[in-house]
Chain A
Amino acid sequence: MMRLRLRRRDLVCQQAVELVTDYLEDALSGADRRRYEAHLAGCPHCTEYLAQMRKTIELTGGLTPEDLTTQMQDDFIALYRQWRGDHPTD
Chain B
Amino acid sequence: MGQDTDAELLAALRGGDERAFVTLVRRHHTTMLRLASSFVPSAAVAEEVVQDTWVGVLRGIGGFEGRSSFRTWLFRILVNRAKTAGARERRTIAVGDTAAVSDTEAAVAASRFAGRGGWLSPPERWIEEAEDRVDAGKLADFIRTAVAGLPDRQRQVVVLRDVEGLTSEEVCGVLEISESNQRVLLHRGRSRLRQAIETGYGRPS
A residues in contact (CB < 8 Å) with B: 1-3, 12-15, 17-18, 20-22, 25, 27, 45-46, 48-49, 51-53, 55-57, 59-68, 72-73, 75-77, 79-81, 83-84, 90
Contact = CB atoms under 8 A, between A and B. Distances in A.
Contacts of B59: 83
A52 B126 contact: yes
Contact of A17 (B18, B107, B125, B130): B107
B92 interface: no
A63 B190 contact: no
Contacts, number: 138
Interface of B: 13-16, 18, 21-22, 25-31, 51, 54-55, 58-59, 103-108, 110, 113, 116-119, 122-123, 125-127, 130, 139-140, 143-144, 147, 158, 162-163, 165, 168, 183, 186-187, 190-191, 193-194, 197-198, 205
B147 to A, nearest CB: 7
B113 A13 contact: yes
Label chain A's interface by main secondary structure.
Answer: helix
Counting chain B CB atoms within 10 Å of each CB, the highest count among A2, A51, A73, A81 belongs to A2
Contacts of B191: 17, 20-21, 53
B190 A15 contact: no
A66 B117 CA distance: 42
B113 A14 contact: yes
A26 to B, nearest CB: 10
